[in-house]
Chain A
Amino acid sequence: MHLVDMQHHVLGASAVVGTTIPIAVGYALALQREGTGRVAIVFFGDGGTEEGVFHESLNFAALHKLPVLFVCENNFYAIHTPLEKRWATRRLCERVSTYGIPAGLIENGDVLEIRQAASERVAAIRSGGGPAFLEIHTYRWREHVGPGEDYDAGYRSRDELRTWQRRDQVTAIGQRIDPNVRERIDAEINASIAAAVDFAEKAAWPTPEELLKNVFAE
């Protein structure tokens, strides 16, 4: 639950919803001081926007024009609880824009549209425009935790899933690529996944001595 890869600028995930939002703003503060035009991007779900810290972070980022892109992946559920039970209004982009932050919405899941929007926002941020926000609709096909489906649980319908499956971007983009190229890409990715699984299965468990490592930094 805490993936990190500092070498590739993946700054660390967290299992407590919303906690990484202000941390991204802190990175953005450091990047602004650095002055090289680097930008921090933070991803969170619809649930994350309900935490008070989200609003605190938007306000501070806007106040100081920090180079941060906030991205809400709205899949309409916080685990099993739908939006209607949690949000007084659906006007998320409007809420964000009241902080003076440009807020865009992409509803159809089109990955090229998302890429274009992100590209424009990042460019604007790089040139000192201050923070920006994107709300991107998406859908969780499987259960919250685990590999199975949970449509039998009754809190959501399979019809909802089918709408999103029709928009599946892997399929959509895949159909636009030359089949030979597609085959090569699929083979590469499958090999990469297989290698990762193999590595994980063969890797040793940590030794007891590792328990107390890294409680404090040197």
Chain B
Amino acid sequence: MSSQNNRIVRYVDALREAVAQEMERDPQVFVFGLDVDDHKAIQGSTRGLLERFGPQRVFNTPLSEDAMTGIAIGAAMAGMRPIHVHIRMDFLMLCMNQLVNMAAKAHYMYGGSVRVPMVVRSMIGKSWGQGAQHSQGLHALFMHIPGLKVVAPSNAYDAKGCMIAAIRDNNPVIFVEHRLLYPTEAFVPEESYTVGFGQARICRRGEDITIVGISNMLMECLRAQELLLDAGIQAEVIDPISLVPLDMATIIGSARRTGRLLVVDNAWTNCGASAEILARAAESADGRNLIQMARMGFAPTTCPPSPPLEQEYYPSPAKIAARAHSMVRGADAVWTPDPEKAALSYQLQFRGPF
């Protein structure tokens, strides 16, 4: 995408810009949720919206996520376009009855006579003591339910484009953000644009192994890809961007070429998005192209708040690279990336092009 108006923009600002542009364009769009209008502004993502659009369109709510989700659904059925904001994905557990039993099903149950055009924003937390209840990646729960769309942009360009697409979508969209992605930068056009769902992006090309990274793990996978170059391994890194709908054609096409598929999810692996991707890849087996498969995600435990245990809990560029290496060179060829390089890899800012 080429544009005269490309600027370096942070993920958080791209999100806010998307919402502001849609609110400007469509008076039915409104933003609500706990603390959307206070001075912290959901870690910057709603800053300035109240001043620009007023309290009828940007408002705080009581701690009543169940009812507020139902209210979003009712308003959406009536023709409005609500954006319901939660500062942490963990709080979506309070919304499940409405999201699963009403939002996902209303269009089907009511014979197509009703639509639920709503966006549910939430942030996966990480680092400095977020711990058990402020760090969950629960997108698999929503992927499981027909009628919900799920999107997890990993960069500022997709954040803006996916948000605009989500707001314009006539279905409930679970919009998955990540706290650590907020300060990351990319080239972002000033004008309004959409990133359509159901199209994955190949971020880096390679012959030896396909690595799929979801949400923040896409960034970790790009760092791992750089580390792997030292071992002479060229990884192809794919960002699915949307999880429902899910572009398996791109992933399978790549995995058939490289012969190896590693999925790194920002969540637990058990019954997760990584399980779904590998299952679909396995189902695609045509008897000719053998695909070696593996997945990584959170350790199968509640997230610990203590830093050394956190390091054990999460995939990291070094761990991802080591796993990929063992898939390419064999399990006996043990290799870990240079620790200094692994630490420095966090300075990598992937800005595109997209």
Chain B residues within an 8 Å CB radius of A27: 74-75, 77-78
A127 to chain B, nearest CB (A): 20
User: 8 Å CB contacts to B: which residues of A9-23?
Assistant: 11-12, 14, 16, 19-23
B98 adjacent to chain A (CB < 8 Å): yes
Contacting pair A214 B112 (CB below 8 A): yes
Contacting pair B114 A33 (CB below 8 A): no
Which of B56, B67, B112, B116 has the most CB atoms of chain A within a 10 A radius of its CB?
B67
Which of A2, A12, A216 has the most CB atoms of chain B within a 10 A radius of its CB?
A216
Chain A residues within an 8 Å CB radius of B149: 216
Stretch at the interface among A52-60, A113-121, A149-157: A52-60
A7 to chain B, nearest CB (A): 8
Contacting pair B74 A14 (CB below 8 A): no
Knowing A4-B110, A6-B113, A56-B67, say if A19 contacts B101 (CB, 8 Å): yes
User: 8 Å CB contacts to A: which residues of B205-249?
Assistant: none
Knowing A2-B110, A23-B74, say if A53 contacts B67 (CB, 8 Å): yes
Contacting pair B62 A4 (CB below 8 A): no
Contacting pair A33 B56 (CB below 8 A): yes
A185 adjacent to chain B (CB < 8 Å): no
Knowing A56-B66, A214-B112, A217-B112, say if A29 contacts B71 (CB, 8 Å): yes
**A contact face: mostly helix, strand, loop, or mixed:** helix
Taking a contact as CB atoms closer than 8 A, the residue among A11, A26, A56, A215 that contacts B108 in the complex is A215
Taking a contact as CB atoms closer than 8 A, the residue among A14, A30, A56 that contacts B78 in the complex is A30
Chain B residues within an 8 Å CB radius of A6: 110, 113-114
Chain B residues within an 8 Å CB radius of A56: 62, 64, 66-68
Taking a contact as CB atoms closer than 8 A, the residue among A12, A25, A33 that contacts B67 in the complex is A25
Contacting pair B71 A23 (CB below 8 A): yes
A136 adjacent to chain B (CB < 8 Å): no
For the complex, give the distance between the alpha carbons of A199 and B115 in Å: 27
Contacting pair A59 B110 (CB below 8 A): no
In the A-B complex, list the 10 residue pairs whose CB atoms are closest, starting with the nearest.
Answer: A26-B74, A22-B70, A56-B67, A30-B78, A56-B64, A23-B74, A26-B71, A22-B67, A217-B170, A26-B75
A-binding residues in B (CB < 8 A): 56, 61-62, 64, 66-80, 97-98, 101-102, 106-117, 146-147, 149, 170-171
10 A-B pairs in the complex with CB atoms less than 8 angstroms apart = A2-B109, A4-B109, A11-B74, A11-B77, A16-B97, A21-B70, A23-B73, A23-B77, A63-B62, A217-B112
Apart from A23-B102, A60-B67, what are 16 other A-B pairs with CB-CB below 8 Å?
A4-B110, A12-B77, A12-B109, A12-B114, A14-B102, A19-B101, A21-B70, A22-B71, A22-B73, A25-B71, A26-B73, A26-B78, A27-B74, A30-B74, A57-B64, A218-B170
